Amino acid sequence: MAQTIRKAVFPAAGLGTRFLPATKASPKEMLPLVDKPLIQYSIEEAVSAGCDSILIITGRDKSAIENHFDISFELEQLLKEKGKNDLFEQVRAISDIAKISYTRQKQALGLGHAIYQAKDFAGGDPFAALLADDIVDAEKPALTQMIDVFERYDAPVIATMQVEGEAISRFGVIDADEVEPGVFKIKDMIEKPAFEDAPSDLAIIGRYIFTPDIFDAIERTAPGAGGEIQITDAMRLLLKERPFYAVKLDGVRHDAGDKLGFLIATVQYALKRDDLGDAFRAYLRSLEL
Ligand code: G1P
């Protein structure tokens, strides 16, 4: 059986241009869905899938992420003094979530280049990479669904979902054969094709399980779409040398890095909350739309 996945990488150096002006001085990964920053959702997903070692690839102006996962001494002290034990436990649990380290991507040269910064961290082990913008609301965590396939096929796995119409050209797209329900063996992939050139309606979602040979493939990858070193292009090179699989996620994916996607995700997550759902639902019903 394949080695289990204990390491997870979170590229978080992007400039968040799709969400300006909110992201002018604050990391987009810290935008809150209801009351929790986006990156905390995906780190919790990785931890629940068995990862205990985390690397966040940061950049300039991203120190709020490090502070969020650190101990906040003054806040904890204050909450204890005021007897707010639930909040204290909640805040403390965030800093205990996993072993987190940080490295900086000094130049925004693309997702492939960001993931390359994890070479030392991976140190010869397979690892997961998660994009915090992609929030997957699923009963069985998206990464767990993927690790099941990784362990059975002993090969890298990416997440996919069907995207109708022209919107497909905003994604990496795969050409693949379904080998069992919801599991695909990839034949080819292309980053952000024109609608007419998309080989299928299967889009790549921001969840990946890589084997260490991805780093050598990234080294051999020339800049692609947008002049950036694309992870899709690196995977495409590697695909010539080894099998690659995709899992159609069972769940709902939200693009929380996009303004409309973020609003939709906020409504969905708020409606699910025990403490807010009923009141929020009543408010939405009262709107004359
Ligand atoms: C990245 C990947 C793309 C993938 C997408 C999923 O693109 O390059 O292949 O489909 O994430 O969210 P980005 O959205 O960062 O431009």
pLDDT at residue number 1: 58
With residue 169 as reference, give the H or E element that holds it: none
**Per-residue 3-state assignment (H helix, E strand, C coil) for 168-226:** HHHCEEEEEEEEECCEEEEEEEEECCCHHHCCCCEEEEEEEEECCCHHHHHHCCCCCHH
127: β partners: 210
Residue whose CA is closest, atom 13 of ligand 1?
171
Task: Return the ∠ at Cα 15 (arms to 253 and 20), rounded to 5°.
Answer: 80
CB 177 within 8 A of CB 185: yes
Name residues whose C-beta falls within 8 Å of residue 283's C-beta, 6 or more positions apart in sequence. Answer: none
Residue among 237, 243, 232 at smallest CA distance from 172: 232
Residue whose CA is closest, atom 9 of ligand 1?
172
How many angstroms separate the CA atoms of 75 and 88, rounded?
8
- Distance (Å) from CA 86 to ligand 1 centroid: 37
Q: Which two tokens stand for residue 262?
A: 């973020």
Residue among 10, 83, 107 at smallest CA distance from 51: 10
How many angstroms separate the CA atoms of 153 and 228, rounded?
30
CA atoms within 13 Å, Cβ hemisphere of 151: 12
| Best residue for ligand 1 mutational test, from 38, 111, 202 (most atoms within 8 Å of Cβ) | 111
pLDDT at residue number 186: 98
Between strands 202-210 and 245-248, the pairing is: unpaired
| 111 Cβ inside 6 Å of ligand 1 | yes
Provide the residue ranges of all domains of the chain, joining segments of one domain with +.
7-286
Indicate yes or no: pTM above 0.75: yes
CB 246 within 8 A of CB 187: no
Residue among 36, 37, 29, 32 at smallest CA distance from 13: 29
pLDDT, tens only, 28-57: 999 999 999 999 999 999 999 999 999 999
Residue numbers in the chain where pLDDT is lower than 50: none
| 233 Cβ inside 6 Å of ligand 1 | no
- Distance (Å) from CA 191 to ligand 1 centroid: 8
- Distance (Å) from CA 72 to ligand 1 centroid: 33
Residue among 206, 192, 187, 191 at smallest CA distance from 249: 206
Residue whose CA is closest, atom 10 of ligand 1?
171
Q: Which CATH class is domain 7-286?
A: alpha beta
Residue among 110, 77, 113 at smallest CA distance from 92: 77
Strand, helix or coil for residue 134: strand
pLDDT at residue number 226: 86
